[in-house]
Chains A and B, each alone.
Chain A
Amino acid sequence: MNVPDDLQYTATHEWIRMEGEDARVGITDHAQAELTDIVYVELPKVGAVVAPKQAVAVVESVKAASDIYSPIGGTITEVNHALDSNPALVNTDPYGEGWLFRVRMEAGEEIELLKDPSAYRKQIDNAGEASL
């Protein structure tokens, strides 16, 4: 499974890329493989204020709907509308075209402890690890 070295991760299989004050968020290659064919993505509204670890998006395969959590608290600044017409981008390019949303941290907000690539790799290599 692809776990890029320049990203941070959550135990719930989101990836985070810090871009100035914003964090761009998506789901990992491992998560998209576990979820299988993604047929629908429900995104948060731009401007929504979210708490850390709040369920803010839903990624749906044919079989199941899975919540996606915001790794940090803040305001949603942008969502990936390309997924409205092509949700499969999450499968084909989870770290690129398949990103989900950007969230801007509140000033002074503590960031929850995120996993570095090696810690996340260890998590998913762990046999029997529960999927999303």
Chain B
Amino acid sequence: MQESSRKKTPLYDEHVRRGARIVEFSGWMMPVQYSGIVDEHHTVRKAVGVFDISHMGQLHVCGENARDWLNYMLTNNVERMDAGESQYTFLLNEEGGVIDDLIVYHYGDGQYLLVVNASMTPKDFEWMQAHLRPGVELENRSAHYAGLAVQGPKSIQLFDLFFGAGISRPARNEIKQVKRDGKTMVVSSTGYTGESGFEIFFPAEFAAELWNEILERGTGLGIKPCGLGARDTLRLEMCYPLNGSDLSPARTPLEAGLSIFVDLAKGDFIGKKPLEKQRQDGVKERLVPFKMKEKSPPPRAHYPVFKDGEKIGEIASGTLSPTLNIGIGMVYVPAKYARINEEIEIDIRGNRFSATIEKKPLHK
């Protein structure tokens, strides 16, 4: 990749200054770790950690037809969201395959914010632009926004330390626009770790100042800056999907086991027909979590998966779970094997290791 095409978040210099290990992640120069993936993972599970999520895309949608249009573009029911609420949802192609998974925030007055995956932002924007209707305005504001995810049980105390007593934490699926120190920011209780936490989005020029202030205020709580490595192990223990690994244009949300974020009872939306058919016929394959039965090398993406000597799939996501201290992952398997406690085998460099299909989530 050319140096010029490697994008940096407004916090890049802070990451370097604080000694992060930087890697290229879908075109972005991002911290993969600070103190270490395992240490950061435990910090988020036991105390509090902060992640730079400025690379994520922010698409702004408004206009008199914004709601109806979004309901046609997305799988979940936008009408069920009151002003000040958020919703996890999918952007599908005509075949019902996943272009992206995202969170839509409803500000009210026909104004919506879509927070999308960094790698998919241009594609999502292009797709939505191609389907635009009169009475809808779509704007890619990704470059103007920075974001932080503050995650962990002690994020509750940190919220109060950071925002002061006057502002209460947003409820689950609630968003708040907060003016703090003259700076307007959007605050939600979302996250990607399975812990309590909050995410804040704000104009990019405040990024370094707010990042450092969060770290300073959280010092007494044991806060640590965290990278994408821990973000991945944390989300995988919760079986939260990662687009590009667990989701793809060739897989539907039903196959991914995420049908609760698809409203087939609402009006027409892109990808609805194939999903209705799939609902009727049943899915051929399903994404299931698994756990190694014994100590093994960490299972990793693309390792072959066997059942009764026959190859039935490849690992979609895999890692060593720092919390459980055993290999975990997710894999698409034929629907007949998608049962809890079903035994499968993972081929790791020619050796077979037993694993069992588990219930979501793998942690807690």
Contact = CB atoms under 8 A, between A and B. Distances in A.
Contact of A36 (B37, B298, B300, B322): B37
Nearest to B21: A36
Give the interface centre of A61, A63, A65 by most chain B CB atoms within 10 Å.
A63
A21 B66 CA distance: 77
Given A42-B297, A63-B229, A36 B36 contact: yes
A58 interface: yes
A63 B229 CA distance: 7
Given A60-B297, A62-B38, A40 B320 contact: yes
Contacts of A58: 297, 349
B297 A62 contact: no
A63 B298 CA distance: 9
Interface residues of A, number: 11
A58 B233 CA distance: 21
Contacts of B296: 40
A40 B322 CA distance: 12
Nearest to A64: B300
Contacts of A27: none
B121 interface: no
B148 interface: no
Interface in A35-72: 36-37, 39-40, 42, 58, 60-63, 65
Nearest to B38: A37
Nearest to A61: B37
B32 interface: yes
Given A58-B297, A65-B297, A65-B300, A39 B32 contact: no
B319 interface: yes
Contact of A39 (B33, B39, B320, B349): B320
Contacts of A60: 297-298, 320
A40 B297 contact: yes
Interface residues of B, number: 17
A61 B297 CA distance: 10
Interface string B24-40: 00000000110011110
Contacts of B297: 40, 42, 58, 60, 65
Contacts of B300: 65
Given A65-B297, A65-B300, A36 B320 contact: no
B36 A40 contact: no
Interface string B286-299: 00000000001110
B298 A39 contact: yes
B33 A42 contact: no
Contacts of B298: 39-40, 60, 62, 65
Nearest to B327: A40
A37 B37 CA distance: 7
B160 to A, nearest CB: 33
Given A58-B297, A65-B297, A65-B300, A39 B38 contact: yes
B11 to A, nearest CB: 21
Interface string B8-31: 000000000000010000000000
B29 to A, nearest CB: 15
A62 B349 contact: no
A65 B348 CA distance: 11
A58 B322 CA distance: 19
A61 B21 CA distance: 14
Nearest to B41: A62
Interface in B304-354: 319-320, 322, 349
B167 to A, nearest CB: 36
Given A60-B298, A62-B298, A42 B36 contact: no
Interface in B181-230: 229
A62 B319 contact: yes
Interface of A: 36-37, 39-40, 42, 58, 60-63, 65
Given A37-B38, A60-B320, A61-B37, 13 more contacts: A36-B21, A36-B33, A36-B36, A37-B36, A39-B298, A40-B296, A40-B297, A40-B320, A60-B298, A62-B229, A62-B319, A63-B32, A63-B229
- 4 closest pairs, A vs B, by CB? A62-B37, A37-B38, A39-B320, A40-B297
19 contacts: A36-B21, A36-B37, A37-B39, A39-B298, A40-B296, A40-B297, A40-B320, A60-B298, A60-B320, A62-B37, A62-B229, A62-B233, A62-B298, A62-B319, A62-B320, A63-B32, A63-B37, A63-B229, A65-B298
